[in-house]
Amino acid sequence: MTEMRADAVVIGSGPGGYVCGIRLGQLGVKTVVVEREQPGGVCLNVGCIPSKALIHAAKTYDKMTRSAGEMGILVTSPPSVDMKKMQSWKGGIVSKLTSGVRQLLKAAGTELVFGSAVIERGGSDGHHVAVAAQGEKRVITAKNVVLATGSRPIVIPGFDIDQKRVIDSTGALDLDSVPQRLVVIGGGYIGLELGTVYAKLGSKVTVLEALDSILYGMDKDCVKVVAQKLRKMGVEVMLGAKAKRWENHKDRAVVTAAGKDGEVTIDADRILVSVGRRPNSENIGLDKVGVKLDGKGFVVVDNQLRTNVPGIYAIGDVAGGMLLAHKASKEAEVVAEVIAGHKAAMDVRTIPAVVFTDPEVAVTGMTEEQATEAGHKLKVGKFPFAALGRAMSVNDTDGFVKVIGDAETGELLGVHVVGNGASDMISEAALAIEMGAVLQDLQLTIHPHPTLPEAMMEAAAAARGEAIHIVNR
């Protein structure tokens, strides 16, 4: 056993952990980041980055096969999909980014150690973190420990993941062939993003959602646009349908689901289970040192990411809230500054979220329902991409921008975008809400033409009855 000392130990190197390690190093805090698998965590290796690579590849193929002809681009022979080559291309992107994480940590003076970490005990000299790897053990003693252990997919009864017939998001990102029939259990953002990929590549996709809506909790008008596009792609969405069991029939799997009209069976080559994620808070010694968890296993923290145990912090998915990479990264910077003795706290008015379906959905701030419940009288403006020159010129006019403002003060409360480029437009809205902008601020800001963000300006104007390129209502 070897022993070492540090000022801080970060357990996990995902978009929370590695960012925390880099920032701590920049602030002169001697830090060790512990990772049991690959630098970059779920996001870089089996989540955000590889999924967006496949989404882009599928979108490119879809445009070639479905809509290129409308623009006069004629594909004279049918295009085909080489999944192995696509996976290799995706893997190259992941490799570049993960190697970049290693270099950035090194440049910041932060040490990266591989192994499984467990907090063994606390003491007057600091917390003792044991790291086991390949039969060897080292103990790191540090005053500060940051939990950045992330989350993993929830497994439902009767659908144990074998990455053969029954796969999770990790398995779905690693398929070397396009399944003829894919059943997706769960109509949340991960299930729909991956389901859309394989629908575009040729799979017959069926989505089973136990609730009465896909993308539950998001703006209902945005959800309608996504649902319409899914139907156009031939994706069957069964709402109020709960997956009960499945059987292997040699050449196929047969899924049984309980729906509104009784049980139904669906043939599938693969079954993707995507019903949410749970925190990685077990088996890391939190019970030994008394770190408080909530009823779902998330670590309880305050606005400085402190747990109830002095010197132990938690960030990212394991700390609950919105399970988003950019939220984890922001928390990472905050906690690094807290540890370094700076005045810092999570003080945000809004955290934007993006769903990379087709069309994309991007949201920040309140929905109409939330704003009304909060006591606001509303002014709502919508501008459709169908009326936007740039959207027409790229042959992608599904969707709209919706802005929600307070009718009395004009304060911008929420922005909801569904359509091509939504992910690239939402940051403007998040900045506006953070700065306390009013509707007129968006309206009076000159937006370049022809661009998609012009719809943001027009929607704000529409909320005030002053839109130029649509009839005001």
Active-site positions read 449
Would you mind telling me the total number of residues written for the chain in this entry?
473
**DSSP string covering 167-214:** E-HHHHTT-SS--SEEEEE--SHHHHHHHHHHHHHT-EEEEEESSSSS
Cα 252–253–254 angle (5° rounding)?
Answer: 120
The amino acid that residue 11 corresponds to is I
Label the pairing between strands 136-147 and 127-133: antiparallel
Cα distance between residue 447 and residue 436, in whole Å: 19
**DSSP string covering 58-111:** HHHHHIIIIIGGGGT---SS-----HHHHHHHHHHHHHHHHHHHHHHHHHTT-E
The amino acid that residue 292 corresponds to is K
Residue closest to 269 by CA, chosen among 161, 357, 167, 155: 167
Strand partners, 365: 414
Quick check: 414 and 365 in contact, CB under 8 A? yes
Quick check: 12 and 39 in contact, CB under 8 A? no
Strand partners, 237: 207
Quick check: 16 and 316 in contact, CB under 8 A? yes
* φ, ψ of residue 399 in degrees (nearest 5): 105, -170
Contacts of 285 (CB under 8 A, 6+ apart): 118, 119, 120
Cα distance between residue 411 and residue 432, in whole Å: 10
Quick check: 327 and 337 in contact, CB under 8 A? no
| Alpha carbons within 13 A on the beta-carbon side of 306 | 12
Cα distance between residue 469 and residue 180, in whole Å: 44
